[in-house]
Structures are given as structure tokens and as C-alpha cells.
Amino acid sequence: MTWLEWFLWMSLVILYVTALFTVAALTFRKGRVILGVVGIFMPFLWLIGAILPAKEGSRYQVDQQISMRRQIDEYSR
């Protein structure tokens, strides 16, 4: 294995791990479990899951509602 091949493989591994901890986590938080699991083998599905709106009752949606409620309470004082 040449130095260039090693460098390219390590770059891909670093990109995959970064996507795993960012985009995949967002996909799971939005309630898109199937896209998250299948995204392990086809990572572009993580991007689709992160772009789609959150499912009703998902952690992401609940966090957004709490954040909006706090802002409304803060501005209405």
C-alpha cells in the first residue's frame, strides 16, 4: 500500500466517522431510525434524514418546541 492510498483511506475513514457523529446523530434525533440504520451502509441516507422534517414527538421536535416556548416567554415579559 502506497502512502497516497493510505492517505486517501484515512481521509475517507475520518469523513465517515465525522458524519457518524454529526449527521447520523441528527437523523436519529429527528426520529428517522430506518434511515439512520440503513445509512450505516449508504451514508448519503443520513443527509436525507437530516434534511427531512422531524417526526411528531421526536426528541428534536420536543427540544425545538421547548426552545421556542422559552423565547416566547422571554420576549413577552
pTM of the predicted model, to two decimals? Answer: 0.76
Q: Do 39 and 46 form a contact (C-beta atoms < 8 A)?
A: yes
Model pLDDT, residue 43: 86
Model pLDDT, residue 19: 87
Give, for all 77 residues of the chain, the pLDDT tens digit: 899 999 999 999 999 899 889 999 999 999 999 999 999 899 889 999 999 999 999 999 999 999 999 999 999 97
Taking CA atoms, 15 is separated from 10, 11, 48, 56, in Å, by 9, 6, 17, 30
